[in-house]
Amino acid sequence: MDKIFTLKNAGAFFVLYGLISMFGIFGFVEGLTVIGSMEIVEIILRAFLSGLLMYIGAIIYNGE
């Protein structure tokens, strides 16, 4: 049971969760009918946060 909850697996989970949230951004953009300035800000914020999550997961996975 302890081998499942290693730090390396937690990093892989963060990377996977960030990747899945990127696909969620694609679905969000596809569902929009009009893209205004607030929608662009929301898309950029979501992309930045999911990229940051994947970056942190990669750092944890590599053990740095």
Q: Give the integer Cα–Cα distance in Å for 39 and 28.
A: 10
Contact 22, 47 (CB under 8 A): yes
Contact 60, 14 (CB under 8 A): yes
What is the rounded average pLDDT for all residues in the chain?
88
Write the burial class of residue 56 (CB in 10 Å: 0-12 exposed, 13-18 middle, 19+ buried). Answer: middle
* pTM, full prediction: 0.80
What is the tens place of the pLDDT at every residue in 17-41? 999 998 889 888 888 888 899 999 9
